[in-house]
Chain A
């Protein structure tokens, strides 16, 4: 018991701090055998790997759901990336093939050819006009130059 002086505390005329008649007991009770079982319940949670806080099952469920949703979203994104990258690489391969074709078959017999192609700004047959039907050349227009990507004799014009 403390020896410190406490202030008077009256309920009606009774100073409850001094009166031995006033019941300081709390109006609370616990289920039967509660304190016999509580240590076991507490110790069940206290394993070496226990977190600092017991996580309610709702939180666990929500976090697992969030993890599953996140994983699903990641899987969808990954699938899209794979699909697009496959398409892109196929296209890239195609372009590479085209490029190889270009490198292998670039023909600039005529210094006027690129200029002509630019001026006419046609994808096909511009050179045909320029060469008066002797050659049919296909090319792909670029930003600053045009590349002839295929050349073949126009059998019809050679006749």
Chain B
């Protein structure tokens, strides 16, 4: 498939006849990045699937108002991050079974979800990440797994680069401690 730049895709989207086609190209270009970003937050595949669909629906309806003073992918990531975190928040309120916290629920998914098959160390690392506060969790995932630039993370999360570096540092320290203690 021919690869289009974000600028080309946005320009194409603004032509009414090409709108749907342009959006299909955007989905194909970013679906996997968005999915894995969301999946790391919500853990369960089914939940990630729901969140990804809602995310792209919001992207579809919001693209008209997208201003090109930010990058397309950081804008999409911001929507996906908010959707994923809000999903967890909403889901936590709906829990009827006696699970103490969001953390335990996510660990439960990690141990029971059909679509999880990592080795012991990978699972242990995921449990350590789950134990982090939500912002540190997102920062750690973006930096460690995606090697994302702090400047891009700053655009996505609306936090200064310095604060992000501090978050990542604290996250690493907590994960080290978790790995040593467990």
Contacts and interface: CB of A to CB of B under 8 A. Distances in A.
28 contacts: A1-B147, A2-B148, A2-B150, A6-B143, A11-B176, A11-B179, A24-B144, A24-B145, A26-B36, A26-B118, A26-B122, A26-B126, A27-B117, A27-B118, A27-B126, A28-B39, A28-B118, A35-B31, A35-B35, A39-B24, A39-B27, A42-B52, A43-B23, A43-B24, A45-B53, A46-B20, A46-B23, A52-B57
A29 B172 contact: no
Interface in A1-41: 1-2, 4, 6-12, 17, 23-31, 35, 38-39, 41
B117 to A, nearest CB: 6
Nearest to A29: B115
B39 A54 contact: no
Contacts of B179: 10-12
A29 B117 contact: yes
Q: Is the interface of A mostly helix, strand, loop or mixed?
A: loop
By size class, the interface of chain B is 35 or more
Interface of B: 20, 23-24, 27-28, 31-32, 35-36, 39-40, 43, 45, 52-54, 56-58, 60-62, 115-119, 121-123, 125-126, 143-145, 147-150, 168-169, 172, 175-176, 179
Contact of B57 (A4, A26, A46): A46
A50 interface: yes
B62 A2 contact: no
Q: Is the interface of B mostly helix, strand, loop or mixed?
A: helix
Interface in A33-66: 35, 38-39, 41-43, 45-46, 50-54
B27 A30 contact: no
Nearest to A56: B50
A28 B53 CA distance: 19
B45 to A, nearest CB: 6
Interface residues of A, number: 33
Given A27-B118, A39-B24, 6 more contacts: A1-B147, A2-B149, A9-B144, A27-B116, A27-B122, A42-B52
A7 B168 contact: yes
A89 to B, nearest CB: 52
Given A38-B31, A38-B35, A25 B149 contact: no
A54 B118 contact: no
A6 B176 CA distance: 14
B118 A41 contact: no
A45 B60 CA distance: 10
